[in-house]
Amino acid sequence: MTLLRPFALDRPETLEEAAAVLTEHGGGAALYAGGTELLLLMKEGLVRVQRLVDVKRVRGLADIRAEDATVVIGATARHRAVEISALLRERCPLVAGVARHVANVRVRHVGTVGGNLAFADPHSDVATLFLALDAELVLWRRAGERRLSLGDFLLGAYETARRDDEILTGVRLHPWPAGTASAYLKFGVHERPTLGVALAVTPAGAGAPAAVRLSVGCVGPKPQRFPEIERQAARMGVAELAARAPALAQAAADAVETASDLHGAADYKRDMTRVFVRRAFEIVAARAAGEEPRARYPYTVIV
């Protein structure tokens, strides 16, 4: 077994206090919330931490709240809180639904959304889905706060654009408009998902054109969107979407960046992108037509 090496623990009650500790201790201090990723890294000796800065006592950091059209999930909100949040179930039901399938039940009760995103594990359902929600991360430091799109925040596997003195305080999601049909598909036989697909199809509405949002993740260093495919698909009606699903999926497979690892080879992931993007379009097209498709696939979670 591996025990943790001794470290100091600070429990600031404000962001200012947290920032002060970070600044004072530089690289030897790490932000800590759920610890489901960080403590593992510490156990494995992959990071050496002299000081944990526990931000769970900072007021409001775990809140899930609405801000006009956006929904803000506080960085220290647990996956479990996301799962049962009435607000999210109403405004972003897919987010609540996917939270139910992150890792295992213990990680869901302890792990946080912010921790998940900040860790930037390539195999992240949360990151994959949030990319399709045009998520913006709120990064706070004493000099000020900035917002960064998730796409710009995630630089690669385990690599983010967070500066050492910045604290991730929340994620701003832009719920899809009413009438959007969506689905999240997660496939994989291993402990971490081999592939995740988030798809949202919004019909043209009052003053707003139709929109399609497609995100594929877990297959490469970070999740991806497909602007070209989204534009093409946005011009299609529901029936055409279903019919053109194979072609759209092939386009996604051609464009996706995949990497081989213990959860699958790059070529397999590329083909699975094709398979599951197509399946996602089929499911979403059915949902857009008011049906609930009953197809089930092995080792696949459909939200």
Residue ranges that bind another protein, judged by CB under 8 A: 1-9, 35-36, 39-40, 43, 45, 52, 80, 103-107, 109-110, 187, 189-192, 250, 262, 264-265, 268, 271-272, 274-275, 297-299
CB of 17 to another protein, least distance (A): 16
CB of 163 to another protein, least distance (A): 26
Of residues 290 and 298, the one with the C-beta less far from another protein? 298
CB of 196 to another protein, least distance (A): 14
Of residues 149 and 250, the one with the C-beta less far from another protein? 250
Of residues 25 and 174, the one with the C-beta less far from another protein? 25
Q: How many CA atoms lie within 13 A of 146 on its CB side?
A: 12
CB of 256 to another protein, least distance (A): 15
Alpha helices for 158-295 (secondary structure H) = 227-234, 238-255, 266-288
CB of 283 to another protein, least distance (A): 15
> Could you tell me whether strands 70-74 and 136-141 are parallel, antiparallel, or unpaired per DSSP bridges?
unpaired
> What beta strand segments (E) does the chain contain?
8-10, 29-32, 51-54, 64-67, 70-74, 136-141, 144-149, 154-156, 159-160, 167-173, 181-187, 195-202, 211-217, 224-225, 300-302
Of residues 68 and 292, the one with the C-beta less far from another protein? 292
Sheet holding 181-187, edge to edge: 224-225, 211-217, 195-202, 181-187, 300-302
Helix (H, G, I), strand (E, B) or coil at 160: strand
CB of 234 to another protein, least distance (A): 25
Q: Say if CB 181 and CB 288 are below 8 A apart.
A: yes
Of residues 65 and 190, the one with the C-beta less far from another protein? 190
Of residues 239 and 247, the one with the C-beta less far from another protein? 247
CB of 12 to another protein, least distance (A): 14
Place of tokens 């994620």: 171
Cα angle 144, 146, 148 (rounded to 5 degrees) comes to 165
> Could you tell me whether strands 211-217 and 224-225 are parallel, antiparallel, or unpaired per DSSP bridges?
antiparallel
Q: What CA–CA distance (Å, rounded) separates 82 from 113?
A: 8
Helix (H, G, I), strand (E, B) or coil at 88: helix
Of residues 4 and 69, the one with the C-beta less far from another protein? 4
